[in-house]
Amino acid sequence: MSLIRSLCLFSTFLSCIVISVHGQAAARPGLGGTRIGFYSTTCPNAETIVRNAVTSGFSANPRIAPGILRMHFHDCFVQGCDGSVLISGTNTERTAGPNLNLRGFEVIDNAKTQLEAACPGVVSCADILALAARDSVVLTRGINWQVPTGRRDGRVSRASDTNNLPGPGDSVAVQQQKFSALGLNTRELVVLAGGHTIGTAGCGVFRNRLFNSTAGPADPTIDPTFLAQLQTQCPQNGDATVRVDLDTGSGTTFDTSYFNNLSRGRGVLQSDQVLWTNPATRPIVQQLMSPRSTFNAEFARAMVRMSNIGVLTGANGEIRRVCSAVN
């Protein structure tokens, strides 16, 4: 049976078109038990409450949009999309290196507080995060789509499990291996990396590309003008926490410019630029880089797939009372 899903191609929550998503996706175990409108009777305002919390957080600090999108990715890639990244405490995922710069926890907590007041014990933190990631894309003028819900919250969160997250120095082969281990193919990898159309990276995560060192010369795949620009923004012994847009010139708008930048040697992370230099992924970048490409629709579809990695449903897991601690 073919899965019909609404994709809303513009930045409003109201203007949606219905497209048919390839039937196979519905049959995949990865979609395990979530469905659109899971809370329609048990907590009819759930999605509105989340959206309003994200909108108000975004008005106060637009940086929470990329922060929440990345947080959802890091949740899904470690123990599945079960809200495990939200748990505080010693040696939880949240304390691990790759998660130290995540933003937007307070927005998720705020949504949860309001949801507990409206419908106690009903809406999971994992679902709040999945919905908030979608809302973050919409707020940065990207696509809107319907998020299947019904995830339950996990009770396990270990810092050591974050070792499997993709890193900024990963080759295409390593990125492919990390995505395919979770059921995502090479095209979905490239499409999802397009999440870097918004947000920033700290100088410390890519400065090794910018200067000659004992490890070798500056990365020759960087466009020379862009290299000079990055060297000014991130001087050799400067502050590693200074942040630079991942999509130069369009870092706050969800668009195809990230792919266009890759084609011009203007990727900030090495893991981004190799998507252009590697012949396995370059044709995909080429297909996505036009403003008229299918990027937005493909991103929505790939997000639905990523958002269903290893989900807990039914009687598994729990509905946390607060997102930062197991019950």
Is the CB of 125 or the CB of 184 nearer to ligand HEM? 184
Annotated binding-site residue? 197: yes
Q: Report CA torsion sign: 200, 203, 208, 209.
A: positive
Do 3 and 30 contact (CB within 8 A), yes or no? no
Is the CB of 150 or the CB of 194 nearer to ligand HEM? 194
Q: Supply the minimum distance, in Å, between the C-beta of residue 275 and ligand HEM.
A: 8
Is the CB of 168 or the CB of 238 nearer to ligand HEM? 168
317 SS3 class: coil
Q: How far apart (Å, rounded) are the C-alpha atoms in residues 137 and 118?
A: 25
Is the CB of 131 or the CB of 319 nearer to ligand HEM? 131
Do 52 and 167 contact (CB within 8 A), yes or no? no
For the question of residue 74 being annotated catalytic, the response is: yes
**Which residue is catalytic, options 5, 72, 74, 301?**
74
Q: Supply the minimum distance, in Å, between the C-beta of residue 205 and ligand HEM.
A: 4
Is the CB of 110 or the CB of 273 nearer to ligand HEM? 273
Q: How far apart (Å, rounded) are the C-alpha atoms in residues 67 and 103?
A: 4
Do 80 and 312 contact (CB within 8 A), yes or no? yes
Annotated binding-site residue? 75: yes
Annotated binding-site residue? 84: yes
Q: Supply the minimum distance, in Å, between the C-beta of residue 282 and ligand HEM.
A: 15
Annotated binding-site residue? 80: yes
**Number of residues written out for the chain:** 327
Burial class (CB in 10 A: 0-12, 13-18, 19+), 166: buried
Annotated binding-site residue? 217: no
Q: Which two tokens stand for residue 157?
A: 């969160």
Looking at the DSSP assignment, which residues form a beta bridge with residue 244? Answer: 201
The one-letter amino acid at 176 = Q
Q: How far apart (Å, rounded) are the C-alpha atoms in residues 293 and 190?
A: 14
Q: Supply the minimum distance, in Å, between the C-beta of residue 217 and ligand HEM.
A: 22
DSSP 146: P
Q: Report CA torsion sign: 292, 293, 296, 301.
A: positive
Q: Supply the minimum distance, in Å, between the C-beta of residue 68 and ligand HEM.
A: 8
Instruction: Give residues in contact with ligand HEM (CB under 6 A).
Output: 66-67, 69-70, 73, 101, 103, 166-168, 170, 175, 189, 192-193, 195-196, 198-202, 205, 269, 271
Do 267 and 278 contact (CB within 8 A), yes or no? no
Annotated binding-site residue? 109: no
Q: Give catalytic residue positions.
A: 74
Q: What are the binding residues for heme b?
A: 196
**Binding-site residues, please?**
75, 78, 80, 82, 84, 93, 166, 196-197, 247, 255
Which residues participate in the annotated binding site for substrate? 166
